[in-house]
Structure 1
């Protein structure tokens, strides 16, 4: 039976409006509660996701602050010409305060050889061969030299070798029209002497051994520089390095030498004073970073958990995505309890609130910089211990909040439940749609029959009217 889509066409009565009103009422009854709940669940799911993101951002800051040595910041002052520095120094977590007199005696050098040839473009090679090039242990590569190669082609083969360890070959065209081949090993340090050997008699012209000042017999190459160590004097102690960086030779410091120290009027090398002190400014910046990140999470959780404002008995719908939800409140409580809990492993100063940290009525932190400066001056080790490490405030907060953000944690469980609810609501929504469709079809069938009956009655009445008047 065909579905009637224009009820009342036969009788002239507006049955379509009746059906539409009935379907709308049924839709409100069946679907509106599901739609409202689905919308609210989606809003909650979005809010939970925002809260998780905010906690993860805070945890990134906490991870940096809780690492060992995060607060071991050192200010390094070197007495030297800033426009032409002699050395630069960086510190690591093992550094401690102190003063040193540092003199740069020698820089580390690479080994170099050079040789003069009649031309860079004329063929030098009459048969194929190889050059084997080394510079100390572990630095070696082989270059294939082809018949007809010129000096320029040999240079390219050396520089472009896939296993070249950093050696460079260059050609200098001299004023007398000749070409000078200059090879730099690129490897510093005593014992890393450049050695070149050829596989044919003809390739003897490129052979070299910078461990000796005497050129190899039959070679055009001679030593111009031998590889050496860098050498510095630190408070009378001679230190050497095969590079121009002295890594941890003075514990906690990496010293990079840039040039040899200046000389005094007597021709002696002058020392440079190095002063290592606690970098209070850097530590204050870290603490302020912690406070700012803490307050940002407090603000976000407060915003998400804000309830709707009621004006004149009516909700203003200005609440957060998690209005009335316990999770934002639980997180704020956890954070406050963690920062307020005294460190049981410390005596004397055992709370960050003794360092000039304050908490207002909204649970947000601030720093009294004067009081914090005094704490740094008087109790540096306690300040560091209170903030950093696994048992510091940052570490404890990170551990606690990970219970929310970790895989399978409290937030993941909540998201799984909300997604399950959404799937159930979508299923119920589809069922309601089917019910509504059947309801409308049933109404149209009923009103279609009524319309047919009314049309027949109207037709009969019209016929009888005609009979009575004839």
Structure 2
């Protein structure tokens, strides 16, 4: 049978409050452990942010260590709306003029006007890739078979166009309504002389050249435009052709594109020059990435004596060691270039560790891209004297490696969390035992006090009765 317990009723003591206060005292270590766990969790987040900032610094170092940063060029055209130009890294500085002789065009073919609502006639249609010479005489592409398409007895012109478009025939088929009927139009998918084609038929009526049946697609049909290569003249004497309006590697790494608005006789001046802007941008991005990391570390490790407050990682040997290593690297030297350290190219450290670019000094260094390339990229086989970008990248990758600083620090912090969790479990178990013990002891005390109270009341009652009887 269940019993109802209400500690304190017998004695009048507030046993629940007493036990609660005593248990609260036992829980003080638990509060401290929870605070410690929250601090460790915050440290894990902070180190995650530091890791992210180091990764960004590594990316900036990679860009400084990329050859394309130093071989970038800028190309320009005097008439970019008619002749556009692009250049890949490493293209030699150059300047030349071009004159447009002709634009590239695709071959087009048109049949005679036919009644599109009626069947065209049964047979086989063939499209042979090739080219036309100046005669014009067609020459089939060597080793390339024609595309053959079966035309059924009830197929209309629309059906023929659809069947052509469903094949990989190198042409696009459309229908043109000229007011008196429909014409089948075929156009090469690509421009250039070599992208031509010839249309032939095998008519089921046995006559492939008459004006009835499938023969009507070729009888009277005409090539409305022959395929043509684009052509330009460079510096007034060098003829260059291309199957499209884009000329690749006219100069190694350089591409020219003629717009549809260009006309025969259009001229343009092309200039190619080294683009030092990519080096400047790469250095500026490195400085920005480093300063962001340095500011974060400064804030995390600072101590304010006036406010008597400290950053979360103040005194943390890992964070302080990382900060010192980075600052030491800024002062390191390299060999193999006329520039020995960052300060030589105008990148100097300020009080507090941030970097600043001396624009005058850096601009002067930019005039010697080859030496800047060596300063950042030279591999001497010696980690102490390698190019700065190589040195910094290797350092950052070491930190980010699976067995690097950040992984080791994360593992250490997670072990601390696990220990803290175990400690909390032990404190909770201890508190539960103590609470149970206190409830038993105070319940027993409550019963004893209740018994003594009852005895006291009985004795008092007897004394009163005795006194009353004596007075009578």
TM superposition score normalised by structure 1: 0.82
Q: Find the residue that maps to 1:250 and give its secondary structure.
A: coil
Shift of 1:285: 2.9
In structure 2, what is the equivalent of residue 209 of structure 1?
A: none
Residue 433 to residue 149, structure 1, CA distance change in 2 (3 Å): farther
Matches within 5 A, 1:310-459: 310-311=305-306, 315-316=308-309, 319-346=310-337, 348-377=338-367, 379-388=368-377, 392-459=387-454
Moved more, 195-204 or 234-243: 195-204
Matches within 5 A, 1:181-196: 181-196=184-199
Residues 70 and 276 in structure 2, CA contact (< 8 A), matched pair in contact too? no
Residues 3 and 445 in structure 1, CA contact (< 8 A), matched pair in contact too? no
Structure 1 residues 50-102: Cα deviation after superposition (integer angstroms, max 9, x where no partner): 1011111222233233211213232323222x5xx222111112212121122
RMSD: 3.4
Q: Which 5+ residue runs of structure 2 have no aligned equivalent?
A: 131-140, 210-214, 380-385, 466-472
In structure 1, what is the equivalent of residue 63 of structure 2?
A: 64
In structure 2, what is the equivalent of residue 460 of structure 1?
A: 455
Q: Does 1:302 align with 2:298?
A: yes
In structure 1, what is the equivalent of residue 177 of structure 2?
A: 173
Structure 1 residues 309-352: Cα deviation after superposition (integer angstroms, max 9, x where no partner): 3447xx44xx4342322333333333333343232122x33333
Shift of 1:426: 1.6
In structure 2, what is the equivalent of residue 16 of structure 1?
A: 16
Task: For 2:424 and 2:276, locate their aligned partners in 1 and report how far apart those are by CA, in whole Å.
Answer: 62
Q: Find the residue that maps to 1:291 and give its secondary structure.
A: helix
Residue 140 to residue 453, structure 1, CA distance change in 2 (3 Å): farther
Shift of 1:45: 0.8
1:100 to 76, 91, 96: 96
Task: For 2:323 and 2:205, locate their aligned partners in 1 and report how far apart those are by CA, in whole Å.
Answer: 81
Residues 113 and 183 in structure 1, CA contact (< 8 A), matched pair in contact too? yes
Shift of 1:24: 0.5
In structure 1, what is the equivalent of residue 469 of structure 2?
A: none
Q: Does 1:277 align with 2:273?
A: yes
Matches within 5 A, 1:239-278: 239-259=240-260, 269=265, 271-278=267-274
Task: For 1:3 and 1:54, locate their aligned partners in 2 and report how far apart those are by CA, in whole Å.
Answer: 64
Structure 1 residues 205-258: Cα deviation after superposition (integer angstroms, max 9, x where no partner): 89xxxxxxxx99955643223333333333333333333322223112122222
In structure 2, what is the equivalent of residue 211 of structure 1?
A: none
Task: For 2:227 and 2:339, locate their aligned partners in 1 and report how far apart those are by CA, in whole Å.
Answer: 55
Residue 197 to residue 342, structure 1, CA distance change in 2 (3 Å): farther
Residues 72 and 384 in structure 1, CA contact (< 8 A), matched pair in contact too? no
Residue 238 to residue 352, structure 1, CA distance change in 2 (3 Å): farther
Residue 284 to residue 436, structure 1, CA distance change in 2 (3 Å): same
Task: For 2:153 and 2:284, locate their aligned partners in 1 and report how far apart those are by CA, in whole Å.
Answer: 69
Residues 65 and 387 in structure 1, CA contact (< 8 A), matched pair in contact too? yes
Structure 1 residues 278-332: Cα deviation after superposition (integer angstroms, max 9, x where no partner): 234443333222222221222122222233x3447xx44xx43423223333333
Shift of 1:360: 0.8
Moved more, 421-430 or 400-409: 421-430
Residues 246 and 257 in structure 2, CA contact (< 8 A), matched pair in contact too? yes
Shift of 1:184: 1.8
Higher gyration radius (CA)? 2
Q: Which 5+ residue runs of structure 1 have no aligned equivalent?
A: 207-214, 264-268
Residues 4 and 444 in structure 1, CA contact (< 8 A), matched pair in contact too? no
Residues 4 and 448 in structure 1, CA contact (< 8 A), matched pair in contact too? no
Task: For 2:250 and 2:425, locate their aligned partners in 1 and report how far apart those are by CA, in whole Å.
Answer: 73
Shift of 1:168: 2.6
Shift of 1:3: 9.6
Q: Find the residue that maps to 2:12 and give its secondary structure.
A: coil
Shift of 1:398: 1.6
Structure 1 residues 32-64: Cα deviation after superposition (integer angstroms, max 9, x where no partner): 342232122111111111101111122223323
In structure 1, what is the equivalent of residue 134 of structure 2?
A: none
Task: For 2:427 and 2:5, locate their aligned partners in 1 and report how far apart those are by CA, in whole Å.
Answer: 21
Task: For 2:158 and 2:223, locate their aligned partners in 1 and report how far apart those are by CA, in whole Å.
Answer: 21
Matches within 5 A, 1:98-247: 98-125=94-121, 148-159=154-165, 161=166, 164=168, 167-174=171-178, 176-196=179-199, 201=204, 218-219=218-219, 221-235=221-235, 236-247=237-248
Moved more, 136-145 or 363-372: 136-145
Residues 346 and 358 in structure 2, CA contact (< 8 A), matched pair in contact too? yes
Residue 130 to residue 373, structure 1, CA distance change in 2 (3 Å): same
